[in-house]
Structure 1
Amino acid sequence: MVRQLFALCVIGIALSQAGCHFKKEVLGTEQNPIKFHLVPSVDAKVLSDNSKVLKAYLELHTPYKFQITIPQSFVAVVESFGTQRADVAAINTYGYYMAHKAYDVEARLTVIRYGLATYQSQFLARADSKIKTLKDLQGKKVAFVDPASMSGYLLPLKTLRDKKIEPKATVFAMNHDAVVTMIYQRQVDAGATYYSPPQDGQIEDARRLVKLQYPDVEQKVRIIELSEPIPNDPIVFRKDMPEEMKEKICDALLQFVATPEGRKSMDLMLGATNLKRSSDADYDTVREMLKTMVPEKK
């Protein structure tokens, strides 16, 4: 009997210690940092280098620790919210549509690009090709970014469907600069990427991403047409995060993009020159559009 009681005590102590060991640490601590995801929309090294600048600023200007990661795709960012591996994310508009629908993820900030809170897609082709208008894409090979990219796939696809234009073949390059490169290298006839208007005589659309490799890209690859505008990409939060935590992170991000170093980093990572506070209601027009593009599953 004594041995049995001793054994039970040992087991009880072991279970108690195990419970303490596996107790989840408070979010925002070194042991359980806030998991901030960035979408892989530009070169991975550019994202990685500038994410370190962002992480350092956030940890200096909030009481929290952060882990900034770059998943393999837009869809991976969305699914990270479903598996509790994401707390905050800078995500594309379609990714937000999916994340909000599936996991009640909340938009709190919207990217501003050179004073605009909306954006458009652009269709590109080589300047020396016979493609001059969208109608010329009929039966051609066209490059898109990613199946979950609003500006690099869904919005231009809607434009083509509205005009009843059907390419012969489509390919996914997985990021915007790769689409431009494929056009430049004649691997495809045309392609679709995000568009931003020129600033101070300099291009700010996706072609700028490859100007170091191809200094003449502006002359060799030209814009054919633009799509209709929709709201810019949001920065989103897991719904059940503490409200105080969301507010402090939003405040820090707004302060970060207001600094010269922060604006440069956000521009390189997200094409953002500023941020503004927003809510889910700002994306109602996107949901209406996507009802025709992505039918509800019955």
Structure 2
Amino acid sequence: MSSKEIDVGFLPPLAYVLANDRGIADILLQAQRYSMQEPNGKTTKDLVDYYRSMIVVKKNSNIKSLEDLKGKRVAFQGTTSAGGYIWPVAELKKAGINIETDIEQVTLNGHDTAVLAVLNDEVDAAAVFEDARNTVKEDIKDVFDKVVPIYFSKPIPNDTISVRSDMSPEWKVNIKDAFIDISKDPVGKKILNDVYSHAGYIQSTDNKFDIVREYKRLVENNTP
């Protein structure tokens, strides 16, 4: 967007905030997904504009709370992952836990990999998006019995549809209306769900992403 090679982006929360704070991107819409029903990880019929992070452990683990993670091997995703790093790290810090000194941090690539790492005793716990166990249940039918959540984060804003900040107001409206129309068309809805796991779109505003900015600062301050 900054080089004006693209006009529209499907930006996750952190990428949107970084782009907006540089004056590159404006938000038009937020994706909607079906909310999750816990502890079984099934989707409901309710559309929401957020998701959550969760920390999972192996069933019968002695880890029952965030405090119990001290001294344990805990898996995270890369530092730009909202559900796999930013939210869990920020909320661990709020709980008085520093991932640099209080736990043994392990970085993995993929939320499915993190669930499997817990299952195979490679780590004691893992921070993943809710409910990442679904990514492996086809191969491991009893994963919901063997890997269980001990913590759910506060809501994380869903992905955005963002456009270049210098785009004309008329074009912003046209693009916004087009995506909403596509999401209401049965064929378009299926494509969006298959490709992006988006079930719909709602109009959004930048201030809904202030929590991303807050958590980003918390995480940055958590690193020596």
Per the shorter chain, which TM-score range? 0.7 to 0.9
- 2:115 aligned to which of 180, 198, 204: 180
Q: Does 1:220 align with 2:146?
A: yes
Count the aligned residue pairs: 206
- How far does the alpha carbon of each residue in 1:22-48 deviate from its partner, in whole angstroms, 9 at most, with x for none? xxxxxxxxxxxxxxxxxxxxxxxxxxx
- TM-score, normalisation: structure 2: 0.80
Q: Which residue of 2 aligns with 1:162?
A: 94
The code of the aligned residue for 1:256 comes to I
Greater fraction of residues in helix: 1
- 1:96 aligned to which of 10, 13, 16: 16
Offset of 1:268 from its aligned partner?
4.3
Q: Which structure has the greater CA radius of gyration?
A: 1
Matched residue SS, 2:56: strand
Structure 1: tracts of 5 or more residues without a match: 1-80, 196-204
- TM-score, normalisation: structure 1: 0.62
Partners of 1:185 and 1:269 in 2: CA distance: 30
Q: Which runs of 4+ in 1 moved over 4 A?
A: none
Q: Does 1:129 align with 2:61?
A: yes
The code of the aligned residue for 1:258 comes to K
CA contact (8 A) 1:95 1:149 kept: no
- How far does the alpha carbon of each residue in 1:197-255 deviate from its partner, in whole angstroms, 9 at most, with x for none? xxxxxxxx221122222222211211111112242221211212344443333223222
Q: Which residue of 1 aligns with 2:173?
A: 247
Q: Rate the CA distance shift 1:173–1:260 in 2: closer, same or farther, 3 A.
A: farther
Q: Rate the CA distance shift 1:91–1:224 in 2: closer, same or farther, 3 A.
A: same
Q: Which residue of 2 aligns with 1:191?
A: 126
Task: Within 5 Å, give how 1:30-179 maps onto structure 2.
Answer: 81-114=1-34, 115-165=47-97, 166=99, 167-179=102-114
Greater fraction of residues in strand: 2
Structure 2: tracts of 5 or more residues without a match: 35-46
Q: Rate the CA distance shift 1:215–1:252 in 2: closer, same or farther, 3 A.
A: farther
Matched residue SS, 1:82: coil
Offset of 1:138 from its aligned partner?
0.9
Q: Rate the CA distance shift 1:211–1:92 in 2: closer, same or farther, 3 A.
A: same
Offset of 1:108 from its aligned partner?
0.7
Q: Larger relative contact order (C-alpha < 8 A, sep ≥ 6)? A: 2
Q: Rate the CA distance shift 1:146–1:259 in 2: closer, same or farther, 3 A.
A: farther
Q: Rate the CA distance shift 1:87–1:188 in 2: closer, same or farther, 3 A.
A: farther
Q: Which residue of 1 aligns with 2:41?
A: none
Superposition CA RMSD, Å: 2.3
Identity %: 33
